[in-house]
Structure 1
C-alpha cells in the first residue's frame, strides 16, 4: 500500500485497499476522504489567490458509505472574497454524492503577541505504548503509527503519525494531511466494544488555530454517549508545539443484534 488514493484525472481518484473501513472492510474509512476534500479545496483556492488565505474551519457531512472504487470530487466557490472565502467540495461515487465539505478560508494577521490557549497539555509520547487497534478490522486503522494512553474507556491521549501519503506522488499541505487523520478519533477510545454497539459518526467539524508542524499529531479525546442513541466524540488536536485546534463528531449509537 503506497497511498490512500491514486489520481486518475483532474477530478477523479481511485481509492486503494489502504482505505478499508473499520465497520466494513468493503467500504472506505472516511478519514482519507476528509483529507482529500480539504486538499482539493486548497488547490482550487490557490489558483485564484496569489497569497492564499488560511483554511480555518471545515465541516464535513457524511451522506453515505463509499465503496473502495473510483470516485469524483467537484469543488465550487460559495462565497468568494479577498479576506474571507467559503468553498464546498463534494465526493461522489457512481453519480451519488457521498461526502460534502464546506471550508472557511481567512486572511492571516499577526496575532503572535496575544496568542495562547487554555487547553490541557498533551502528555509526551515518550514511553507511550504502541496501539494496533485490536478492536477494529480494515486496513486504514493500521496504516498510521499510533501511540495511545487510555485513562478509561471514553478518555484517551494518543499520538499519531501517518506512514503513507494521501495521494500517490502528490504533495499536500500539513493541514490537509492532518484532516486526513482526524476521523480516526472516534475509534481511539470506545466507551463500549464495537462488537456490541455501532457508533459511526455522521459528520466531523474541525476548528483550527494554525497549521500543524512536524510528523506527529496529538489527540486529546473524549467520547460521550447519551441515553437516546446520540453520542459525541470531542478531540483537542496538538503537535509538538502545542494545540492546533479541535474536532467534534456526532455519533449515531446503535446496539448490534446478539450473535452478530
Structure 2
C-alpha cells in the first residue's frame, strides 16, 4: 500500500500510512513533502526534455494537515534555459497547507570536480534495529524500518527505509522518495520526551548536491533547543555511497502544561 493514491490530475488521497506522530488524525508531513517534489518533477518532465536537476527545496508548513484528500499544483515562477524556480502548492479543502519553492539547475559534467569533506556515517548493517513506534505513534512511523545509533542528547545517526511506495502505481524518482522521508529526521535524535515537550517543525529546507540512490536514507542529525521556544534540527543526508545533501528544520518548542 502506498502513502498516497492518485484521484485525478491534481488530487491525491492520503492513506493510513501517512498518519502523523503528533496526532494520528493528521498527516505526518514527510510523505506530503515527497509528494510535492514528485509533482514538481512531473511538471518539469511535461514541460521540458532536458531534465533540470532539483538542487534546493524550501517548504513552509502552514498548519496541521488532516489525513484525507489533497490538491497539488505546480507553477513556474522564474523560467529559464538553465535555471528555474518552481512553486508547488498543496491544499486541503481549498486551504493552502504547504508551500514549496524549488530551484532546478541544468546538468553539466563536473565529474572531475566531484568531492566533499562531509563525513560519512557507517552503513545500516552496523546499526542496531530501532523500533521508533516506542517513541512515536502514527502510520508513517509504523510503516518504516529504522536503525539508529545514539551519540548523545539530541544527537543520533540513523538509517530508515520503507517498503511502501510514495504514490500508488506511479514511478517515483529516488530523489522524491528520499525527500518523502527527510522530515523523519526531527524524530531520530530526540532531545526531550515528546510526552513532555512539543517540538514540531514549521518549515523544512533541503539542498542536494548529488542524486540519491537506493532504498536506505541515512541521517547524521543534531537537534538544538533555544531558551525561548525556538529549535533547530540539522541533518546531513546520506545514501549508501555517502552524503548527498542537507536538511534543516525550524522547530516551535512548547513544553506541555
Relative to the length of structure 2, the TM-score reads: 0.98
Q: CA deviation at 1:144?
A: 1.5
- In structure 2, the residue matched to 1:115 is 114
- In structure 1, the residue matched to 2:17 is 18
The 3-state SS of whatever aligns with 1:47 is helix
**1:118-141 deviations in whole A, cap 9, x for unaligned?**
111211222311111111111111
- In structure 2, distance between residues paired with 1:30 and 1:234: 17
- In structure 2, the residue matched to 1:198 is 198
- In structure 1, the residue matched to 2:179 is 179
- In structure 2, distance between residues paired with 1:124 and 1:163: 19
The 3-state SS of whatever aligns with 2:70 is strand
- In structure 2, distance between residues paired with 1:144 and 1:25: 16
Mapping of 1:143-222 within 5 angstroms? 143-222=143-222
- In structure 2, distance between residues paired with 1:126 and 1:167: 28
**1:215-245 deviations in whole A, cap 9, x for unaligned?**
1111000000111110000000111111100
- In structure 1, distance between residues paired with 2:20 and 2:153: 21
Q: CA deviation at 1:97?
A: 0.3
- In structure 1, the residue matched to 2:245 is 245
- In structure 1, the residue matched to 2:42 is 43
- In structure 2, distance between residues paired with 1:222 and 1:123: 17
Normalized per residue, the structure richer in helix is 2
The 3-state SS of whatever aligns with 1:42 is helix
Moved over 6 A (4+): none
- In structure 2, the residue matched to 1:96 is 95
**1:50-70 deviations in whole A, cap 9, x for unaligned?**
111001100000001111111
Q: CA deviation at 1:23?
A: 0.3
Unaligned runs of 5+ in 2: none
The 3-state SS of whatever aligns with 1:28 is coil
Q: CA deviation at 1:200?
A: 0.2
Compute the RMSD of aligned alpha carbons.
0.8
- In structure 2, the residue matched to 1:72 is 71
